């Protein structure tokens, strides 16, 4: 499911022979990538071209390979009338207007595996430098001093490394740290317990458990509004005194003012930073701290990573232009036109249900995602809907942006089993999608359908209870004892905090459902046009009769 088969494109030739396609390499990549392209195409190097020259000449090329400096805007893509493939020699594609390319039928592919080893190794380099005071000792010695006792460090052996974010890079760091004899404890609720066991890593139930155990903490979380300033004053206060902090992931994951205060108090014994909220960064209050090591965003900067990124992206351009399999395409996989006509309107619903189910799951680790398609949609190729479910479930929870192509591999590397089921009959609805997330001991199922000629996404089932409510950007679900006045209590508290309710629906147990404590609980779904703060949820759940409350952003 994670590949796109491209259609080979050729230009007509007056000689009766097939004309070689043309590819532009706009930025510097390794020679191996250029050589691979030249085996198949006529290749031009436009490294010195200005933006104006690129705009004038891009219409002559069937493929283009870039890194991060070139901005392929919708306007520029429109000028590339022959373009069929865009290769990005690196992980992100922020500098490519992917929707514009998709609209034109252009495959966009990146090199997501190119720098993971490099980033993990740089983390280890900073970890060792932090433990042994290497930069400080170097500066002292080269200034004419011999201060052995001043820069005595500590061993990594039998120390505890805490990893926040246990995706691809976090797992590589863990393997290397264990090679130094370190105890490794990691927190990432979106990685299965089995994957922790396979790697010999202890699974923390929450961040606080990592804080309480770790001598070193390295953060490898994605940059999202939820992870902004993840390591803040409250987090530092919960850590062991003298802990050392590393960030080779994204700027903004650490509250740097809080880090400064923690360094001043001695709560944090040292820090190693490779990334910053704004870059380039050449002046910073922490730069003067003797216990702080900094590097200028070198996590992905090695000759091997650069060469690997160029070669991998060149491979994808070759595949895209010769009818091969484009394994790292970031736009949607190829689905038949007839299937897309029916399934297309259900893509937003599948994504939203995946996200909602994951938010409602309370377990400490996700083991399984089940996607069931019922009714008329089950008669078609539902692979795309399954991908959309995974995208929704993992969105904002991985260090690399998840999309419809890389979703299966992202789930697999986290040990999450994905199952798809199709049933041609759907009780009460013509089409129904049910998503179930198994997380630890918790199993959460949500279901939805599309209503009206435009198949507007509606939620119709949560926790085994039936609703019919249009999905809005923010959805909150409460479960409570079925007593009078509970719904009014929710509305009153929301109102006191200035939260406007778009719609609300009370659930009921479907006829024939089994009896049990779960079924005796009532439920209410509330949709809003603004987020519901955790403090508001806590206030409602703390009142008599309420069992739990969870909120989800479906944006």
DSSP 112-147: TTSSHHHHHHHHHHHHHHHHHTHHHHHHHHHTT---
- 98 three-state secondary structure: helix
What is the separation of C-alpha 415 from the centre of its chain, rounded to a whole number of angstroms?
A: 15
Q: Please list, in sequence order, all residues whose beta carbon lies within 8 angstroms of the beta carbon of residue 541, skipping any fewer than 6 positions away.
A: 478, 547, 548, 549
Is residue 250 annotated as a catalytic residue, yes or no?
Answer: yes
Pairing mode, strands 521-528 and 501-506: antiparallel
Q: Give the residues across from 45 on adjacent strands.
A: 25
DSSP 320-382: HHHT-EETTB-SPPP--HHHHHHHGGGHHHHHHHHHHHHHH--SSSEEEEEEEEEEGGGGS-T
Q: Please list, in sequence order, all residues whose beta carbon lies within 8 angstroms of the beta carbon of residue 98, skipping any fewer than 6 positions away.
A: 108, 330, 331
The catalytic position among 53, 158, 279, 304 is: 279
Separation CA 54–CA 80 (nearest Å) = 10
CB atoms within 10 A of CB 402: 21
Separation CA 293–CA 249 (nearest Å) = 15
The catalytic position among 104, 297, 383, 489 is: 297
Q: Is the peptide bond before 6 cis (omega within 30 degrees of 0)?
A: no
Residue 296 phi, psi (nearest 5): -85, 70
Residue 520 phi, psi (nearest 5): -80, -10
Is residue 62 annotated as a catalytic residue, yes or no?
Answer: no
DSSP H/E element including 79: helix 74-79
Residue appearing with tokens 């155990």: 213
What is the token pair recorded at 168? 């691809």
Is residue 368 annotated as a catalytic residue, yes or no?
Answer: no
CA atoms 226, 231, 232, 236: torsion sign: positive
Separation CA 208–CA 36 (nearest Å) = 49
Q: Give the residues across from 24 on adjacent strands.
A: 44, 64
The catalytic position among 88, 122, 250, 458 is: 250
Q: Are 35 and 76 in contact (CB under 8 A)?
A: no
Residue 244 phi, psi (nearest 5): -115, 135
Q: Please list, in sequence order, all residues whose beta carbon lies within 8 angstroms of the beta carbon of residue 291, skipping any fewer than 6 positions away.
A: 263, 269, 270, 271
- Residues belonging to the active site: 250, 279, 297
């Amino acid at each position: 499911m994670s590949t796109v088969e491209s259609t080979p494109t050729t230009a007509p030739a007056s000689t009766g022979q097939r004309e070689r396609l043309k590819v532009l390499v706009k930025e510097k990549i390794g020679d191996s990538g250029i050589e691979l392209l030249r085996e198949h195409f006529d290749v031009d190097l436009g490294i010195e071209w200005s933006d104006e020259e690129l705009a004038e000449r891009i219409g002559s090329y069937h493929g283009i390979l870039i890194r991060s400096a070139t901005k392929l805007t919708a306007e520029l893509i429109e000028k590339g009338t022959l373009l069929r493939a865009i290769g990005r020699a690196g992980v992100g594609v922020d500098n490519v207007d992917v929707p514009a390319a998709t609209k034109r039928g252009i495959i966009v592919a990146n090199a997501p595996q190119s720098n993971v080893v490099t980033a993990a190794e740089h983390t280890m380099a900073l970890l060792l430098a932090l433990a042994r005071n290497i930069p400080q000792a170097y500066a002292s010695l080269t200034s004419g001093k011999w201060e052995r006792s001043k820069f005595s460090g500590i061993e990594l052996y039998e120390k505890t490394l805490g990893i926040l974010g246990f995706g691809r890079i976090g797992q590589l760091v863990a393997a290397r740290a264990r090679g130094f004899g370190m105890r490794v404890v990691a927190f990432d609720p979106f990685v299965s317990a089995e994957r922790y066991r396979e790697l010999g890593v202890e699974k923390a139930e929450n961040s606080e458990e990592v804080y309480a155990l770790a001598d070193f903490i390295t953060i490898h979380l994605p940059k999202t509004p939820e992870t902004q300033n993840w390591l803040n004053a409250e987090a530092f206060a919960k850590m062991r005194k003298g802990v050392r902090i590393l960030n080779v992931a994204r700027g903004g994951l650490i509250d740097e003012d809080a880090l400064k205060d923690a360094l001043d108090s001695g709560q944090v014994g040292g820090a190693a930073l490779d990334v910053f909220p704004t870059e380039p960064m050449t002046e910073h209050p922490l730069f003067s701290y003797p216990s702080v090591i900094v590097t200028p965003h070198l996590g992905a900067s090695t000759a091997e990573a650069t060469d690997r990124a160029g070669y991998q992206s060149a491979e994808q351009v070759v595949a895209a232009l010769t009818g091969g399999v484009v394994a790292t395409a970031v736009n949607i996989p190829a689905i038949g036109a007839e299937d897309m006509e029916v399934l297309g309107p259900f893509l937003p619903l599948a994504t939203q249900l995946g996200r909602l189910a994951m938010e409602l799951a309370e377990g400490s680790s996700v083991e399984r995602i089940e996607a069931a398609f019922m009714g008329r949609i089950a008669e078609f190729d539902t692979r795309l809907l399954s991908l959309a479910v995974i995208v929704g479930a993992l969105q904002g929870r991985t260090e690399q942006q998840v999309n419809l192509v890389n979703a299966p591999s992202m789930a697999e590397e986290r040990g999450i089993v994905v199952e798809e089921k199709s049933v041609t009959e759907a009780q009460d609805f013509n089409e129904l999608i049910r998503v179930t997330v198994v997380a630890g001991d918790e199993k959460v199922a949500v279901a939805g359908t599309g209503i009206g000629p435009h198949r507007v996404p509606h939620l119709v089932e949560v926790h085994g209870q039936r609703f019919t409510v249009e999905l809005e950007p923010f959805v909150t679900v409460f479960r409570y004892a079925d007593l009078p006045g509970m719904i009014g209590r929710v509305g009153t508290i929301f109102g006191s905090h200035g939260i406007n309710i778009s719609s609300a629906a009370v659930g009921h147990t479907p006829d024939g459902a089994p009896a049990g404590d779960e079924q005796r609980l009532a439920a209410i779904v509330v949709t809003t046009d603004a987020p519901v703060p955790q403090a508001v949820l806590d206030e409602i759940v703390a009142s008599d009769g309420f069992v739990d409350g969870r909120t989800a952003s479906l944006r």
